[in-house]
Structure 1
Amino acid sequence: MQQAQRRHMRGPLRPQQLKPVRARVSGAGLARLFQAGDAAVLFAASFAVAQLASLPRVMWLGAPTLALVLLVATGAYAMSARERTRRRFGRLLIATSAASGGAGTLAGLFNPAFPALGCAAWAAAAALAICASHLAWGVTLRRLRRAGHLTPNLIIVGGTPAAQRLIRRALKTRDVNILGVFDDRRERVGPEICGVPVLGKTADLIDHRILPYVDRIVVTVPPKANARIAQLLERLAPIPNPISLLLDDTDDETEAEAVGRIADFDLLQLTGPRQRSGYLVAKRIMDLTLSILALVALAPLMAAVALAIRLDSPGPIFFRQRRHGYMNEEIVVWKFRSMRTEATDQKAARQVTAGDDRVTRVGRFIRKTSLDELPQIFNIITGEMSIVGPRPHAIGMLSGGAEASKLVETYAHRHRIKPGLTGWAAVNGSRGPVDTPEDVRRRVQLDLEYVERQSFWLDVSIILRTAPCLLGDTGAVR
């Protein structure tokens, strides 16, 4: 009875195991990976045929290049769960045939004696290779979707007819997970919409524990309700998750197209950063490479710090604190303990001040040199943090007697990217405790500036500037 009730509360479109957005797979990045795989098999097939049939270079290099262009142009990497297998493989055969014909025609212009048999051999080999490749990644996609790594998790704001149609379509296709609905008219909407639970009013969404698992918030409103749209966006302003608008259009065809594209996020995006998968992959590779190298190089230093802490004061070597990570996810951040054990402040209710009696002798040194932050290398390796990003703050951290997250409306927008070991704010003078509301606002302003400007080379610049800033920042209290 209790299990049935729990399933009812979860709804029919909620996966058995929710995975945070941080741990999910980027569809755009996966598509690029599949493109690279297709390029490899096409050029390998071309090389093999060239060895047997003596294909000219324009054929065995030009044909696979043209095939890849045609595959991208015809949407072969949209990865839609709605596409029929027959149509998908028909597209592959057409692309390889057209590429073979185009490259063969070009080869014939350079060499009129070029045999048509070479074109046919290339087309057959390429079609076989590309179909095998897409069969393999089709299996991969199905496994990722079943495991919850790829299927997008949505929250709907507004129990409109468009929301009902979206839910019914999702129940049929299973190409999106709809975790719940929020509506200010909960009394009229009822406890559920098409089986999906109504989790509360719009205001309840601001601090809801489900946000770290939500890829996108979809606002469904009538198309002419401009005042209602503005009101909802104002209420949802503190939320870091991307927000899209799905109009409850009276034109059935237009609405059907919008609802049909929802799984691909082809909507009017109102808020949230535009994700660049290439940059995210490069950033993750840099994070792993530098953090593993740093762990190896700094292992003796970290061991020495651990020994000094053990000899200096009783208590554990490490200090663990729950902080906000990507999309407000609660993560456990590791540090070397710098305070007396009995004075541990898990919620940062009191900011550290100069000559703070809670800080140990070793703690003063490792805080001044930022050596206390080195264990966060493990957070970077596990993917909870990055080398560069906004510094993670303790949950419920107070500044000037007020909760820091309540002092700035857009405070949570700094969580639109992973927190970092260093960041734009740190190299621009906002380092250490934030004692006043003005300090909080400046920290948030710098963090949001980085969120808007983030790039691979900006990250490299921040990393290079970090050490000189630490050495020259003798006045900072930590």
Structure 2
Amino acid sequence: MSNLVRLNTGSAGSHRPGASAGRGPAPESEAPLADFAFEDADGLPPPEAPPPSDRRGPMRPAQLSPTRRRLQGEVYARTFQALDGLFLAAVSLTAFLSLGGQAGVHVAPALAVMIALSLSGRYAFGSREGLAYHLAATGLAVLAGVAAAAAILASFLPPAAVFAALGAWTLAAFLGLYALHTTWWLLVRRWRGDGRLTPNVVVVGATPAAERLIAHAMRSRELNVLGVFDDRLARAPQAMRGVPVLGDTRALLEHRIMPYVDRVIVAVPAGARHRVREVIQALRPLPNEIALLLEDEDLETTGREARRSSRVRDIPLARIAGPPRHLGRAVVKRTLDLTAGGLALILALPLMALLALAIRLDSPGPIFFRQRRQGFNNEEIVVWKFRSMRHEAADAHATRQVQADDDRVTRVGRFIRATSLDELPQLLNVLKGEMSLVGPRPHAIGMMTGDVESARLVAEYAHRHRMKPGMTGWAAINGSRGPVDTPEEVRRRVELDVEYIERQSLWLDLYIMAMTLPCLLGDRQAVR
């Protein structure tokens, strides 16, 4: 699957995502990037589309999708492979039930064909591979697999019986796999056209290495280079092969395109080791994956944090920092969110109806409170809650965090906040894929701790956005619930969130879910 996207993504820097810096245009995207006019309860008006710009660059897709919506090629390749295997298993079972005989005669060709398809790269779906070529190669793989199975079976069974049994099986396998692989190829082409399979990157350093990378990307179309950043703007060109130079490192940290970037590639010359370290240190607040473009093998020892290496075709990259790469865990986590979250929503609907009625009768205003918060990769998401404050006093920006005996909280609001029942509508966010059942709690954009924006109190604040936000989390069951009123509380919240991200597993998620209710019932100190 070298030609399908292999990049796991993180998020943007420790800044308010709505802020804009540098010379880059606002992306025309599914999730808007400009500052929004917030409404505290009645709804959030759709933001105006950002103005068109001629500094888009040759590889920037017409529509940018948040990184959480970017499809991971390995997942879909293995899904296609599994569906092919199920189809061949069904063909073998049908043949066995219809023709009888020894089961091995029908199982062996299925296994051989699956091995041949895998070894011949039929699940790579190269960006320049046409449908006719793909189907022809698929047919050759089927023939090779059937021939290998026939040769092995003929050494144990009469050849006539083997060929008689494999005739109908081979025809069914041909027709079915041709139909399936036509579907897979069309899906991959569509996803590539949507920009969901091609990773988006930005490059730090307007160097010859960066220019070679851009030229390679334009030839292979294996990745989209959205922009270049360089601290030496006086020496940097306005564009490199049409890719715009958008600003310096500070502009990159605050640029509104970053929630759509899968990887930051540092392309500083190999000899400038001090500059490499400076750039990597400056990029430390970013939760995005950061990779070093290796101009020679010695450069791999530049940073002790270079834990992994990967390649974009023949270009070696050393992984410096970024979110954990656990593809299997991500699949299991999403499966848990869909199954447990869907079941929880069904079971909670009667209770949610009663709460909605109570809120409506208790105070004037809408039932739901919707607030823009920071999600995965600092994407702005709309989080749903039951309204717990008086409508006219609601604070969408969290400029004033809730205090004990807060006069803004309604009577019903005190109960649903104390029991966290106000969070139940976030099950909708979970099912939409914007949140998870377990993860760092999403904070309001621009949330204040005293007179300072909370995100500015901890350099690695945005590292908590390397995973989808959750309805509950490791911090919540370890006493860090509700408002964070001091810098120390912000640091502790971030430390617990990062600890969870580094340790995340199915068993830890199940433990946190099991401990959430006892912690809520036993925690009378937290202010909510």
**So what's the TM-score if we normalise by structure 2?**
0.81
| Structure 2 equivalent of residue 469 of structure 1 | 519
Q: Which residue, 82, 102, 118 being the options, matches 1:72?
A: 118
Which SS does the other structure have where 1:188 is aligned? coil
1:145/1:321 CA distance change after superposition, 3 Å: same
Q: Which residue, 336, 344, 349 being the options, matches 2:399?
A: 349
AA at the equivalent of 1:224:
G
Is 1:92 the equivalent of 2:138?
yes
Which SS does the other structure have where 1:218 is aligned? strand
Q: Which residue, 466, 471, 484 being the options, matches 1:434?
A: 484
- Conserved in 1, the CA contact under 8 Å of 2:115 and 2:145? no
Q: Which residue, 213, 234, 252 being the options, matches 2:281?
A: 234
| Structure 1 equivalent of residue 303 of structure 2 | none
**So what's the TM-score if we normalise by structure 1?**
0.89
AA at the equivalent of 1:350:
R
* % identical equivalent positions: 53
**Which whole-Å CA distance do the structure 1 matches of 2:501 and 2:477 have between them?**
15
Which SS does the other structure have where 2:235 is aligned? helix
1:76/1:270 CA distance change after superposition, 3 Å: farther
Is 1:133 the equivalent of 2:180?
yes
**Which whole-Å CA distance do the structure 2 matches of 1:363 and 1:81 have between them?**
54
**Offset, 1:260:** 3.0
| Structure 1 equivalent of residue 206 of structure 2 | 159
Q: Which residue, 21, 34, 44 being the options, matches 2:80?
A: 34
| Structure 2 equivalent of residue 180 of structure 1 | 227
AA at the equivalent of 1:61:
V
**Which whole-Å CA distance do the structure 2 matches of 1:347 and 1:314 have between them?**
21
- Conserved in 2, the CA contact under 8 Å of 1:45 and 1:126? yes
Q: Which residue, 446, 457, 463 being the options, matches 2:507?
A: 457
Q: Which stretch has the larger CA shift, 424-433 or 302-311?
A: 302-311
**Which whole-Å CA distance do the structure 2 matches of 1:281 and 1:260 have between them?**
25
| Structure 2 equivalent of residue 146 of structure 1 | 193
**Which whole-Å CA distance do the structure 2 matches of 1:250 and 1:472 have between them?**
56
Q: Which residue, 373, 378, 382 being the options, matches 2:432?
A: 382
Which SS does the other structure have where 2:442 is aligned? coil
Structure 2 unaligned runs (5+)?
1-50, 299-309
**Offset, 1:387:** 0.8
Q: Which residue, 19, 27, 42 being the options, matches 2:65?
A: 19
**Which whole-Å CA distance do the structure 1 matches of 2:97 and 2:371 have between them?**
61
AA at the equivalent of 1:346:
A
Is 1:260 the equivalent of 2:310?
no
**Offset, 1:431:** 1.1
| Structure 2 equivalent of residue 399 of structure 1 | 449
AA at the equivalent of 1:330:
E
**Offset, 1:25:** 1.5
Q: Which has the larger helix fraction?
A: 1
What root-mean-square deviation, in Å, do the aligned CA atoms of Structure 1 and Structure 2 show? Answer: 2.6
AA at the equivalent of 1:154:
V
**Offset, 1:128:** 4.5
**Offset, 1:392:** 0.2
| CA displacement, residues 289-329 of structure 1 (integer Å, 9 cap, x when unaligned) | 22332222222222222222222223322222111001000
**Which whole-Å CA distance do the structure 2 matches of 1:206 and 1:119 have between them?**
64
**Which whole-Å CA distance do the structure 1 matches of 2:505 and 2:314 have between them?**
29
AA at the equivalent of 1:44:
A
- Conserved in 2, the CA contact under 8 Å of 1:221 and 1:248? no
**Which whole-Å CA distance do the structure 2 matches of 1:275 and 1:259 have between them?**
17
After TM superposition, the structure 1 = structure 2 runs for residues 218-233 of structure 1, keeping only pairs within 5 Å, are 218-233=265-280
Q: Which residue, 335, 338, 342 being the options, matches 2:388?
A: 338
1:200/1:41 CA distance change after superposition, 3 Å: same
| CA displacement, residues 196-251 of structure 1 (integer Å, 9 cap, x when unaligned) | 11111111111211111111112212233322221111111111111122223599
1:149/1:259 CA distance change after superposition, 3 Å: closer
Is 1:63 the equivalent of 2:95?
no
| CA displacement, residues 114-139 of structure 1 (integer Å, 9 cap, x when unaligned) | 64524863555544443442222111
1:100/1:53 CA distance change after superposition, 3 Å: farther
1:93/1:303 CA distance change after superposition, 3 Å: closer
**Which whole-Å CA distance do the structure 2 matches of 1:120 and 1:61 have between them?**
11
**Which whole-Å CA distance do the structure 1 matches of 2:293 and 2:128 have between them?**
20
Which SS does the other structure have where 2:279 is aligned? helix
AA at the equivalent of 2:188:
L
1:101/1:54 CA distance change after superposition, 3 Å: farther
| CA displacement, residues 96-120 of structure 1 (integer Å, 9 cap, x when unaligned) | 3443344334433443566452486
- Conserved in 2, the CA contact under 8 Å of 1:58 and 1:106? no
**Which whole-Å CA distance do the structure 1 matches of 2:362 and 2:70 have between them?**
42
Is 1:270 the equivalent of 2:323?
no
| Structure 1 equivalent of residue 259 of structure 2 | 212
Q: Which residue, 120, 127, 131 being the options, matches 1:81?
A: 127
1:228/1:340 CA distance change after superposition, 3 Å: same
- Conserved in 1, the CA contact under 8 Å of 2:135 and 2:182? no
| Structure 1 equivalent of residue 21 of structure 2 | none
Q: Which residue, 372, 380, 386 being the options, matches 1:322?
A: 372
**Offset, 1:72:** 2.9
| Structure 2 equivalent of residue 43 of structure 1 | 89
**Which whole-Å CA distance do the structure 2 matches of 1:249 and 1:327 have between them?**
31
| Structure 2 equivalent of residue 199 of structure 1 | 246
1:6/1:299 CA distance change after superposition, 3 Å: closer
